[in-house]
Amino acid sequence: MVNIKEFLYPNKFKITLFLLLFIPSIALIILLLGQNYIYSSYDYFYSSFILVDALLFLTSISPFILLGVILSYFLGCFIDYYIPNEKTKITIAIISGIVSLIIVYIFYKMITEPVICDPVHVPSNNQTVCDPVHKPSGSYSALVLGELKIDKSAVENSFQQCINKLND
């Protein structure tokens, strides 16, 4: 029989495992439960004050953060209670730390990748389209537009607007 008080009482391994399992737990919960939820509840409100956008985004993922905190603490308690060997606990902590670093690095790369203009997409409401998916082919040039069977002037204008925005 498991003593709940002893199981949940914090000690150095539970706290360490909780902190190192926090990021992988949140990533796992968002991956499993929140793929469509985050995009449907967050309206992508763009304000001139970036903290408003960050607050809206954090509000939209707050249920997943709460579930991640609970899951990571229970995983830390479970590992500490059921694995008696300290070296095994340290190995699990190191592996979860490495996984956390990899997840943070991937998130960092997703945010800091350059935005590249894509002259193929023409917006319907005369806005400039910047597409972060494509990699630059070398230099920015509108010569590729000669092979396209579309309104080249609208595409060329959109392409130039995007380049001008990137240069600003």
Which DSSP helix (H) or strand (E) runs through 81? helix 50-82
pTM of the full structure: 0.58
Q: How far is CA 83 from CA 106, 141, 147, in A?
A: 31, 60, 64
Nearest to 133 by CA among 158, 115, 121: 115
Residues 85, 91, 96, 97: is their CA dihedral positive or negative? positive
3-class DSSP state for residue 85? coil
pLDDT at residue 112, as a whole number: 76
CA distance 40 to 54: 16
Q: Tens of pLDDT along 136-160?
A: 454 445 555 555 556 667 767 777 7
How many Cα atoms sit within 13 Å of 82 on the Cβ side?
9
Tokens 């914090």 sit on residue: 10
Q: Tens of pLDDT along 20-70?
A: 999 999 888 888 887 666 555 545 555 566 677 778 777 878 888 899 999
